[in-house]
Structure 1
Amino acid sequence: MSRTDERVPCASEMRSCAAQFVARVTARNRLPLDYSVASLRVVDFLIDGLRKGGAEGERVRDPLFGLGAYVGEVLVRRAGAIWVDFDSAQREYFGQPVGVRMPDGRVWNPLGKVRNRFELGGPGESLQTFYLTLHGRARRAVA
C-alpha cells in the first residue's frame, strides 16, 4: 500500500501492509524477508543503505513505513504480539497511529523504531537487537 494518499492504515490492515511491502521488495531483489528474527538484520541493513544513500523526506516515507510494518509483523508472528490502534495518548506519545501489544500487555512502536534506526543509526538502534531484548515476548514462536 502506498502512503502517498496520506491515509494511515489501521491495525487490522497492518498484516496486509507488511505482506504487500515484502512482495514489492522481494520481486526485485532476493532479500530473505521471511518474518524470522534473523531477517531483522536485513531490515537494519536496508535502513542503513537508505541512510548512506542520502535518501530523505518523501523518498523514505513509504519504505520506512513498509519496514516498520514488517518489523511489527515479525513481532506478531514470532513474539505473540497483536496489532493495535493506539488511543489518543499513545498516538501523541509514539507519534504513530498503530503499534503492537505484547502478551504481557506492553505496547511497542515498531514504526517508530524503524524511523529511529533511520534518523539515529548505529548499533544501539538495531531492530534485531530490539527484538532480542524486547520485554513481554511469548516464550514460543507464534505462526
Structure 2
Amino acid sequence: MTTHATHATTRQGPGSAPRPSAATKPVRWAADAVSALREGARVRLDYSAQSLWRVDRLIEEIRREGAPYAAVETVLRGFGAYAGEVVVGQTGAEWWATGGEHWVRTPDGRLWDPVDEARRCFAGDGSLRLLCRDATGAAG
C-alpha cells in the first residue's frame, strides 16, 4: 500500500461531525446507491449491519441475471461504499484514500476495502455482511 493516504478533515454539512476528506466520494456513492434503490426498486436501506444481508442478495440477483461487470460497476461501487459507511457508523472507522482507491480504517488500525468486496460478491466470492461482521467484531 502507498504511504501517502489522504486524511484531511472536512465538514460534511451543517452541524455534522468532521469527516475525513477521503470520505467525500464514498459517502456520495453510498447515498446515490441508497437513493437509486429507494426510487427504482422500492428497497429501503437504513445503514444497519442487518441491511447488508439485503445488499448481498441484490448483488447475487444481479450476478444471476448475467449482467456484464461494466454495466454494474457503478452500482457495485455504491454498494461497497454503503457497506463502508455501515462499518464507519458501527465502529467510528474513517475513510482513507490513495491512488483513487478508498479504504475504511477501523479504530484498531485494520484496513478494509468494501468497494473491492462488492466486486468480489459480484464474482461470487465475497460478502458485504461478513466484511462488516469481521470489521465490527460482531457475532453472526
Identify the TM-score tier after normalising by the shorter chain. Answer: 0.7 to 0.9
* Aligned AA (2:44): P
Match of 1:126 in 2: 127
* Aligned AA (2:122): F
Encode CA deviations 1:41-90: one digit per residue, 9 max, x unaligned: 0111111011100011310111111111111111111122111113xxxx
Q: 1:18 aligns with which of 30, 47, 50?
A: 30
Q: 2:96 aligns with which of 84, 88, 103?
A: 84
Encode CA deviations 1:85-119: one digit per residue, 9 max, x unaligned: 13xxxx5xxxx611111011111100011111111
* Aligned AA (2:75): P
Q: TM-score, normalised by structure 1?
A: 0.73
Corresponding residue SS for 2:96: strand
Q: TM-score, normalised by structure 2?
A: 0.75
The answer to whether the Cα contact below 8 Å between 1:40 and 1:128 also exists between their aligned partners in 2 is yes
Gaps of 5+ in 1: 1-9
Q: List, as ranges, runs of 4+ consecutive aligned residues in structure 1 with deviation greater than 2 Å.
A: 10-13
User: What is the distance in 2 between the residues matched to 1:138 and 1:40?
Assistant: 15
Match of 2:109 in 1: 105
Length, aligned pairs only: 118
Give percent identity, aligned residues only.
37
Gaps of 5+ in 2: 1-21
Shift of 1:138: 8.0
